[in-house]
């Protein structure tokens, strides 16, 4: 069974089911972000809105790329991904997924919007710290990626709040039809053009959510596959590793033309490390030319050296080398070509996550919808508020997905709704208890998940010794 004994095969299935459960619960929370505005403006009936959102969440995952998924994978040190003791890897996977499931489900029960991004990144961070502690600091976390993800999560709600206020201001100036700024009338649908705008924003938020949050599930499943089956999934099985030789030769040529005698000591170290990675990659590629060699056993070594080389690229292109602008462009493009062997996800993984998120979207949505629609502001959500918060959420999430950064759909849209309420009635128009609960959850999610996932990892790992 995939080269695994029966026990490991069932553990693999259990981990995959847990990852799908995480994505299913993600749909509980984040469905509300897309459908609350169309439901509370009476643009769509609840069940029609939820099904529509589920469909576009599905499309968002399936067609939204994998940049965020790769960012999630790269948060963990390489040493964590492939341990000599596979049961330690299983401990890591179960710890981060179970933490994410427990926290998200608990907060959902309290009807508080919660960020799956915060939850997952905190869980990964906790496992990474616990791994470092248990291995005497032998594996470092990818701090660059963690800082990028942390800043994205920190700034996005502020962007949602501020941009929605600005957009409301411009809408008031540009749209002369006052109906757009009215609250929905009882038992009466809004005008067709208003419905069209709000359904479009719902669609955009759903698609953007799938393209960002869905990728987190893809990242988790790829971590599972790399841990259990590194020979199969460390490198893209649809690409021939032997074809790397062209890019490695170009990169080596550029590195060899640097004059180390004229470089700063720290730059010399960076170039030396890059040359070491290139030499290791070329050595493996030479071995692959031997007849009847099993290429799969070298896949993880290739992956490790490619990722290590890629991590040095920013330093290599900014240090005092002999590179001119054209050199830097060609160097980066060849690094990117090597990364195409490590940055992939099989179609069935994308389909599995798309289905899990889409199904989750159709269940458990009501708790969070009520919070978004009724408990953030003191006044009823009007058409302009629903449209502006949706536009800001969709554009912010879409831009973050383009940059490969995880972002909290929950906090972007709920902060957008809060911003629209403040524009209409000032701070007094917010329900303080709800805002306090959302803000408190936002603050404590990462520390709680770090502590829980780290503790779970150390506990489960002790049983695997």
Of the CA atoms within 13 Å of residue 196, those in its CB half-sphere come to 3
d(CA 200, CA 195): 8
Considering the chain, what percentage of its residues have pLDDT values greater than 90? Answer: 12
Q: Which token pair is 240?
A: 């021939």
pLDDT band per the 50, 70, 90 thresholds, residue 363:
confident
Phi, psi (deg, nearest 5) at residue 319: -80, 170
Cα dist from 341 to 238, 252, 305, 309, 337, whole Å: 9, 18, 12, 13, 7
Please give the Cα distance from 50 to 35 (Å, whole number).
Answer: 6
Q: Quick one: average pLDDT of 28-55?
A: 81
Annotate 20-45 with DSSP letters as a single string: HHHHHHHHHHHHHHHHHHHHHTTSS-
Of the chain, the percentage scoring pLDDT greater than 70 comes to 92
Output the average pLDDT for the chain: 83
For residue 96, pLDDT over 80 is answered with yes
| pLDDT higher than threshold 70 for residue 80 | no
Question: Is-contact 181 172, C-beta < 8 A?
Answer: yes
Q: Please write down the long-range contacts of 100-106, taking CB distance under 8 Å and 24 or more positions apart.
A: 100/22, 100/449, 101/18, 101/21, 101/22, 101/25, 102/452, 103/445, 103/448, 103/449, 103/452, 104/22, 104/25, 104/26, 104/28, 104/29, 105/25, 105/28
Q: Does 1 have pLDDT greater than 70?
A: no
pLDDT band at residue 262 using 50, 70 and 90 as cut-offs: confident
Per the CB < 8 A criterion, the answer to whether 353 and 72 are in contact is no
Higher pLDDT, 220 or 148: 220
Q: Residue 137 pLDDT > 60, yes or no?
A: no
- Give the Cα separation of 140 and 79 in Å (integer): 9
Q: How confident is the model at residue 277 (pLDDT cuts 50, 70, 90)?
A: very high
Q: Are the CB atoms for 175 and 385 separated by under 8 Å?
A: no
Sign of CA dihedral 193, 194, 195, 199: positive
> What's the pLDDT at 234?
85
139, pLDDT greater than 60: no
Q: What is the pTM of this model?
A: 0.84
Residue pair 394/205 in contact (Cβ under 8 Å)? The answer is: yes
The pLDDT tens digits for 413-465 are 888 888 889 988 888 888 888 888 888 888 888 889 999 999 999 898 887 66
* Per-residue model confidence as pLDDT tens digits over 285-344: 888 887 777 667 788 889 889 988 888 888 877 776 666 677 788 888 999 999 999 988
The full set of domain ranges for the chain reads 6-231+345-464, 235-339
């Amino acid at each position: 069974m995939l080269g695994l004994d029966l026990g490991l095969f069932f553990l693999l299935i259990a981990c995959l089911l847990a990852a799908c459960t995480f994505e299913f619960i993600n749909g509980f929370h984040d469905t509300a972000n897309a459908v609350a505005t169309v439901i509370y403006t009476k643009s769509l009936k609840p069940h029609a809105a939820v099904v529509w959102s589920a469909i576009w969440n599905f499309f968002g995952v399936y067609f939204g790329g994998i940049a965020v998924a790769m960012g999630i994978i790269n948060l963990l040190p390489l040493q964590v991904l492939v341990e000599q003791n596979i049961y330690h890897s299983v401990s890591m996977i179960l710890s981060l997924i179970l933490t994410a499931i427990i926290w998200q489900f608990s907060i959902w029960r309290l009807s508080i919007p919660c960020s799956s991004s915060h939850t997952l990144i905190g869980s990964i961070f906790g496992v990474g710290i616990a791994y470092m502690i248990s291995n005497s600091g032998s594996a470092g976390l990818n701090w660059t990626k963690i800082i990028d993800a942390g800043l994205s999560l920190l700034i996005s709600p502020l962007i949602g709040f501020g941009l929605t206020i600005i957009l409301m201001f411009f809408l008031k100036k540009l749209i002369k039809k006052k109906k757009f700024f009215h609250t929905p009338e009882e038992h009466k649908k809004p005008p067709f053009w208003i419905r069209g705008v709000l359904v479009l924003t719902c669609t955009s938020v759903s698609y953007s959510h799938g393209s960002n949050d869905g990728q987190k599930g893809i990242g988790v499943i790829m971590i599972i596959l790399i841990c259990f089956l590194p020979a199969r999934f460390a490198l893209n099985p649809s690409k021939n590793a032997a074809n790397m030789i062209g890019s490695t030769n170009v990169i080596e040529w550029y590195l060899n033309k640097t004059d180390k005698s004229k470089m700063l000591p720290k730059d010399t170290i960076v170039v030396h490390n890059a040359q070491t990675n290139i030499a290791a990659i070329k050595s493996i590629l030479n071995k692959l030319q031997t007849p009847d060699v099993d290429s799969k056993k070298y896949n993880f070594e290739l992956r490790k050296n490619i990722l290590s080389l890629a991590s040095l690229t920013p330093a290599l292109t900014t240090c005092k080398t002999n590179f001119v602008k054209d050199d830097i462009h060609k160097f980066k493009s060849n690094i990117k070509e090597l990364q195409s062997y490590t940055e992939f996800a099989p179609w069935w993984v994308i389909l599995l996550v798309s289905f899990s998120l889409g199904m989750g979207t159709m269940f458990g949505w009501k708790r969070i919808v009520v919070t978004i629609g009724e408990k953030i502001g003191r006044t009823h959500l009007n058409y302009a508020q629903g449209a502006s918060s949706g536009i800001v959420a969709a554009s912010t999430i879409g831009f973050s997905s383009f940059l490969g950064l995880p972002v909290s759909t929950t906090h972007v849209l709920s902060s957008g709704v809060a911003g629209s309420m403040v524009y209409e009635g000032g701070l007094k128009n917010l329900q303080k208890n709800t805002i306090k609960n959302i803000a408190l959850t936002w603050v404590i999610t990462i520390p709680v998940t770090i502590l829980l996932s780290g503790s779970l990892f150390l506990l489960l790992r002790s049983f695997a010794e």
